[in-house]
Amino acid sequence: MVQVTKADVRRVAHLARLTLTEQEADAMTEHFTRVLTYIEKLNALQTDDVEPATHAVTVDAPLRPDRVTNPPNPALVQTAPARDATFFKVPKVLG
Amino acid sequence: MEYETVIGLEVHAQLLTESKIFCGCSTKFGAPPNYHTCPVCLGMPGVLPVLNQRVVEYALRAALATHCQIAPHSRWARKNYFYPDLPKGYQISMYELPIARHGHVDITVSECSKRVGLTRIHMEEDAGKSIHDAQSDASLVDLNRTGVPLLEIVSEPDMRSPEEAGAYLRRLRAILQYVEICDGNMEEGSLRCDANVSIRPRGGAALGTKVEIKNMNSFRAVEKALRYEVRRQQETLESGGHIAQETRLWDADREVTRSMRSKEHAHDYRYFPDPDLLPLVIRNEWITQVATTLPELPAARRDRLIRDYGLPAYDAEVLTARRDVAEYYEAAVRAYPAAPKAVSNWVMESVLRTIKDQKLDDALTITSWPCPPEHLGALVRLIQEGTISGKIAKTVFDAMCASGKTPEAIIAEQGLSQVSDEGALRSLIDHVLASHPDKVAEYRTGRDKLMGFFVGQIMKASQGKANPQRLNTLLKQRLTDTQ
Amino acid sequence: MDLFRLTMHEASRLLRQHQIRALDLTRAVCTRIRATDLTLHTYLTVCEDEALSQAAVADRQLQNPDTAPPLCGLPIAVKDVILTKGVRSTAGSKILADFVPPYEATVVQRLKAAGAIVIGKVNCDEFAMGSSTENSAFFPSRNPWDLTRVPGGSSGGSATAVAAHQALASLGTDTGGSIRLPAAFCGVTGLKPTYGRVSRYGVVAYASSLDQVGPVTKDVQDCALLLQAIAGHDPQDSTSVNYPVPDYQAMLPQGIQGLRVGIPKEYFVEGMQPEVEAAVRTSIAELQALGATPVPISLPHTEYAVAAYYIIATAEASSNLARYDGVRYGYRTPQSDGLTTMYERTRAEGFGAEVKRRILLGTYVLSAGYYDAYYLKAQKVRTLIRQDFLRAAQECDVIATPVAPTTAFAAGEKITDPLTMYLTDIFTIAVNLAGLPAISVPCGFDNQGLPIGLQLIGRPFDEVTLLRAAYSYEQATPWHTRTPPL
């Protein structure tokens, strides 16, 4: 039985920049515990000599030539929720 | 208690490619905000990275130039954190399997040679820029720089003084410039440096607590910051305090390192292999092909100049610090091979000074030299042959820079040929001595210093063109003769 | 005849013979959508005006049937995680509720180049995370066979659109079974191609090493036709392979004489709905009657697939979804006091509960101290699962299994227990971990009239054999002609 604490959940929530209500944090703690306990079954497998699977495709990495193929595109800022001329605008980091 | 300083440097070099590392946007500096962007480098939904071949080629050049072992397989990794200048919420970098490892850079400090190890070199993408608006509570984000390719070069903690760190940084920059992958400009940010500094009792084996120093924006700042930090750590330990493992910023105005506002959580970057990019395979054929494109590197060139031209180490060091200067020097020597040391003096004193004054060395490759190297070679020849004196040569040099004409042309136009002809000199001597009989008499009573006066007068009479060596000989003879 | 009931290949023939017009076909589909969608909730966006003008263009092209492109005039629905230029693409999420992309997915470009008409964007579980389409931020979709039941997910809308004839075909995505499961629950055909066969560029990423775009269609021939249009190398996707695209339709009628069909014992477990097992076993007998040879095989690491998947997929998702931060596009929280709260509230308000669960789990398994125990371990187990299939490939040409342990469950039944929901994918998930192609075809109905799906799993990049086997089965059975009474 994997024991996950609410503090673990809060730490991870901060890393993922997600606020959780008390209720959500409780539910998440329980969910984590259940899922991670289920996942423990993997420990039954001996994998010391097994290579981790990286990519399904085993070909050389594709490379592109060093050429500018995109024209200037300041219009892409138009999807921004807030902008200042062609800057993206965000709240400052506070102390 | 005597302390030993341990310094490691982490350098980020912006690579001089046309397009970004994972998309076809331009890397050109100075465009209006968010001009050189596309869905890929903006981290829009559903986009995917595609690797720029030249970035790998440049990494291979750097790896070869620093004698690294190149990994046949290297892997891209995601470094996850949140910041507005990091659109995807992760940076594509390399973690467990970098492209190169275990290299070295040789430096010279106070005539001592030392080898600084390189732990690793890897490629990654640059982030954008945030401007913090002082008036409002907003930050403005420009993502032009996002996706510009960077090389991260991590040294072993092999440096034992700020001077060694400075020497390492300068040598590394020279190497990157030599292989033409980075213009090495710290003030503009194309070369960035963070340091890890610790101290330990001399003779101790264990490392002291490491402090990271950031925000050093020039070579001098690096050396100053390191000197300050070493002193700070020593004073802390000597007064019974302890060194906190932290990141400190160099404050260039107050010339101190300051602790960064501490964050509740240390960074947990959750590195994992990037599933959107396949492992990078480097075959020997590619390495061999890149090796053939490498120029002669600074250390080898320096040694060759010492060996082939008999130059002192100092000269060779200065002349090979930049590849274009080294080429200039050798072109000048080819024009006049008989006096490489004299050519060296001229390049170091006059050519380099002019370049520095006119800030021509900001460019990766200097294209507008004060004068062509062949003309400089000719100038030195004319001095060595006695056609002009060293003093007159300075005038000729300035005229060469201003007009672009050959030294022969200038000498001819301005009639600056040195007077070396014995007859001409003798008559000048006679004329001047005859004009100052009292001084001649004084000289004969033992006032040797009056030689200078006579020489000065003859120089004036000859408009500076009298050949000083010949003049001295003949004048001495004349003054002795009439005794 | 209701034009909207046509398959793609039938409609194409009639269009080229000038027996019907593209404009009429598109109009018929639009009318059908209007008549049924208040009940089914398939569509998030219908592109009627644009579709009609595309249909007019198609009719002009069809005047010369020999040069008209392969999918000319055919209305196709697109799952909302697949970006369409100038048309709202939400990924089923509030955080992209108003996102209108200025670029589009390669697969959409290829559809358009093939002359297809994008009729609209269909509903899905938010960010493709789910097995029932109940996680859509907008509304749940309904199973056309029984409106009280789920259509499956995450490509629920893609399946309901096809089953209810609200489009002639659709594109979905499959990360752990998200095409095959809804296809099975809705009685249609759905294919997940080999990983790397189809471009992922412009498809909102959930789990990058598992996601694939695939066709959801009324029959196998349509499936081959649609796959033909979208398959192939894309220089914008570094994980797409540069292998030639074969002719997927040519070999369809060749039959399956001598085809070896693997029957893995681990896929016939306790707790399966009896009618599901019975239907699948009957299907295997049918395949045998058609000339195939059943071969018992073992895929011993099957029981570990769900656990490995939920580590790898959530880890990749936690990173892929970090870009939804309210800075450059999408939803941003209206009130915040500083950057950190802007991020936290935007994401808390913009993401639904299941997405948050997966982001947090993924963050956890990658966090300091846990990487080896979870992510690395799961990737090693993934290798073992792949090796199972590689060994099996020496003994058989395709593998036959059920798609799900049950037929469509009731709306609301599993949504409160995520782990139970995750286990719905138990038969489909290993295929994604191994990167193999797999297809779901209808193979019967349960006692309540709910469709049952047969899964066939193929060798890497051998969709030709897979489609041939599926076609043979389908043509010998009536299931693909059955349609919900709507």
Q: What is the pLDDT of residue A95?
A: 52
How do residues B384-429 score in pLDDT, each as one tens digit? Answer: 988 888 888 888 999 999 998 999 999 888 877 777 777 788 888 8
Domains of chain B, start order:
3-289 (no CATH), 296-414 (no CATH), 422-481 (1.10.10.410)
How many angstroms separate the CA of residue C388 from the nearest CA in chain A? 13
Give Cβ neighbours of residue B170 (< 8 Å, ≥ 6 apart): B219, B321
Cite the DSSP H helix spans in C131-188. Answer: 156-163, 180-186
Pick from C329, C341, C363: which is nearest to A16 by CB?
Answer: C363
From the list A17, A28, A81, the residue facing C332 with the nearest CB is: A81
One-character DSSP codes across B442-471: HHHTT-TTHHHHHHHHHHHHTTT-B-HHHH
C380 in active site? no
The packing angle between helices B437-444 and B468-481, to 10°, is 80
pLDDT band at B322 (very low <50, low <70, confident <90, very high): confident
Q: Which chains touch C (3 or more CB pairs under 8 A)?
A: A, B
Mean pLDDT of chain C: 97
User: Parallel, antiparallel, or unpaired for β B100-109 and C398-402?
Assistant: unpaired
pLDDT band, residue B70 (cuts 50/70/90): very high
Q: How far is A53 from chain B, CA to nearest CA, in Å?
A: 11
Q: Between residues B146 and A73, which one has the greater pLDDT? A: B146
Q: Which of C353, C439, C322, C293 is nearest to C137 (CA)?
A: C353
Percentage of chain A beyond pLDDT 70 is 96
> Is residue C115 classed as helix, strand or coil in its secondary structure?
coil
pLDDT one-digit tens code per residue, B82-112 = 999 999 999 999 999 999 999 999 998 888 8
Using alpha carbons only, give the angle B317, B321, B326 rounded to the nearest 5 degrees: 90
What is residue B483's predicted lDDT score, i.e. its pLDDT? Answer: 53
Q: Are B210 and B246 in contact (CB under 8 A)?
A: no
Residue C483: predicted pLDDT: 94
The amino acid at C140: P
Residue C414: active-site member? no
Q: What domains are defined for chain C?
A: 3-258+397-481 (3.90.1300.10)
- Retrieve residue B396's tokens: 């000729």
User: Confidence band (pLDDT; 50, 70, 90) for B304?
Assistant: very high
Pick the CATH number of A1-45 from 1.10.20.60, 3.40.470.10, 1.25.40.10, 1.10.1530.10: 1.10.20.60
Residue with tokens 């076609």: C471
Q: For residue C208, list chain B residues with Cβ-Cβ distance below 8 A.
A: 275-276
What would the DSSP string read from start to end of B239-271?
TT------EEEEETTTTEEEEPPPPSS------
Mean per-residue pLDDT for B292-297?
A: 91
- Spans of all domains in chain A: 1-45
- Write the ipTM: 0.96
Buried b / exposed e along B319-337 (16+ C-beta atoms within 10 A): bbbbbbbbbbbbbbbebbe
- Measured N-to-C along each axis, helices C353-366 and C305-320 cross at an angle, to the nearest 10 degrees, of 100
Indicate yes or no: CB of A89 within 8 angstroms of CB of B50. Answer: no
Question: What DSSP state is assigned to residue B92?
Answer: E
pLDDT at B132: 86
Phi, psi (degrees; rounded to nearest 5) at B313: -55, -40
Q: For an interface test with A, which of B40, B141, B145 has the most A Cβ atoms less than 10 Å from its Cβ?
A: B141
Identify the bridge partners of residue B272 per DSSP, sorted by sequence position: B78
**Tens digits of per-residue pLDDT, B5-57?**
999 999 999 999 999 999 999 999 999 999 999 999 999 999 999 999 999 99
The per-residue pLDDT for range C237-268, each reduced to its tens digit, is 999 999 999 999 999 999 999 999 999 999 99
pLDDT interval class at B264 (50, 70, 90): very low
Mean pLDDT of B198-225: 92
**In whole angstroms, what is the distance from residue B19 CA to residue B36 CA?**
10
**Who contacts C327 (Cβ-Cβ below 8 Å, separation ≥6)?**
A80, A81, A88, A90, B84, B87, B141
For C125-161, the pLDDT digits (tens) are 999 999 999 999 999 999 999 999 999 999 999 999 9
* d(CA C325, nearest CA chain B) in Å: 8
Across the interface, which of A63, A76, A91 has its CB nearest the CB of B34? A76
DSSP H helix total and E strand total for chain B = 16, 17
* Annotation marks residue C178 as catalytic: yes
In this complex, do B272 and C329 lie within 8 Å of one another by their Cβ atoms?
Answer: no
Cβ-defined contact of A45 to C381 (cutoff 8 Å):
yes
Euclidean distance between CA atoms A10 and B259, whole angstroms: 27
Span C330-358, mean pLDDT? 96
Q: What is the amino acid identity at position A5?
A: T
Amino acid identity at B104:
H
Neighbours of B456 (CB within 10 A): 11
Asked whether the beta carbons of residue A64 and residue B34 sit closer than 8 angstroms, the reply is no
Identified catalytic residue from C89, C93, C132, C154: C154
C105, C209, C315: residue with CB nearest B46: C105
CB-nearest partner of B48 from C207, C238, C315: C238
- C306: which 2 tokens? 């769900």
As a whole number, mean pLDDT of residues C407-426 equals 90
pLDDT tens for residues C164-200?
999 999 999 999 999 999 999 999 999 999 999 999 9
On whether any CB of chain B is under 8 Å from the CB of C313, the answer is: no
What is the mean pLDDT of the segment spanning B359-370? Answer: 78
The predicted model scores a pTM of 0.91
Which of B273, B282, B278, B277 has the alpha carbon at shortest distance from B57? B282
Q: Which chains touch B (3 or more CB pairs under 8 A)?
A: A, C
Residue range A34-73, pLDDT digits in tens: 999 999 999 999 999 999 997 766 678 899 999 999 999 8
* DSSP conformation class of B295: P
CB contact under 8 A, C381 and A79: no
Test mutation, A18, A38, A79, chain C, max C CBs within 10 A: A18
For residue B159, the 8-state DSSP code is: B
Spell out the residues 6+ positions from residue A33 whose beta carbon is closer than 8 angstroms to its own. Answer: A1, A2, A3, A4
Q: Is the pLDDT of residue C286 over 50?
A: yes
More confident position, B455 or C351 = C351
pLDDT in tens, B172-202: 999 999 999 998 889 889 999 999 999 999 9
Question: Are the beta carbons of C91 and C48 closer than 8 angstroms?
Answer: no
Asked if A52 reaches chain C (Cβ–Cβ under 8 Å), the answer is yes
Cβ <8 Å between C196 and A24: no
Taking CA atoms, B465 is separated from B395, B407, B415, B417, B449, in Å, by: 12, 15, 9, 6, 22
Over chain B, what is the mean pLDDT?
91
Confidence bin at B359 (pLDDT 50/70/90): confident
